[in-house]
Amino acid sequence: MKERTMKKKPSEIITERLSMHSYRDSDMETAIKLLCNDNIKKTYMIPDFYSREDAVKMFYKINDWSHSDEHFEYGIYLKDQLIGFINDVETDDESIEIGYVIHPDMQGRGYATEILSAAIRELFSMGYSVVKAGSFEENIASKRVMVKCGMRMVEKTDSIKYQGKIHRCLYYEIRKE
């Protein structure tokens, strides 16, 4: 196995219209709204929070991760407004699986494609040779985003129980050339 040269993640990744960077404490309310959004929870696996305190704890956890080189965790910003997030799901020496969310009111504008493309480029430059992502089979928009970003569906599938339903999860990946 060839050894990967791991580069520290940048503090900010800037695209044509968006930026990805660590959360700020002032993002807490917006982040909690994202984490508790029923439409987001249909397609992105987020735990149910049984109290505001649980949601606040989750914000502080992802906030810490966003400031750490141990996780690929960023808020996604349009101008100075938090509109989503991107994070690692699973990593090994050569590959990383990521997940991403754009607020439902901001979808359909190409933001997910723009941010996922930038994340893939950055992850390759950080030394990963494979970037993966999964999607519930019914999440057609996310599958389109992954394909637009050059990802291809792989044979791996999972059946995942989430929100009281069994979802078939399809996986996509892109390999560094």
Q: Per residue in 121-170, pLDDT tens? A: 999 999 999 999 999 999 999 999 999 999 999 999 999 999 999 999 99
How many of the other CB atoms lie within 10 Å of CB of 10?
Answer: 13
Q: What is residue 4's predicted lDDT score, i.e. its pLDDT?
A: 44
Q: With a cut of 50, which residues of the chain have pLDDT below it?
A: 1-4
Return the CATH superfamily for domain 12-175: Gcn5-related N-acetyltransferase (GNAT) (3.40.630.30)
Q: Are 34 and 103 in contact (CB under 8 A)?
A: yes
Report the alpha-carbon distance of residue 53 to residue 49 in Å, rounded. Answer: 8
Largest pairwise CA distance in the chain = 46
Written as six digits, the tokens of 125 are 């430059």
Residue 41 near residue 84 (C-beta atoms within 8 A): no
Distances (CA, A) of 70 to 63, 98, 113, 168: 12, 14, 24, 29
Instruction: Write phi, then psi, for 41 (nearest 5 degrees).
Output: -65, -15
Give the domain ranges of the chain: 12-175
Model confidence, pTM: 0.94
Label the pairing between strands 130-136 and 95-102.
parallel
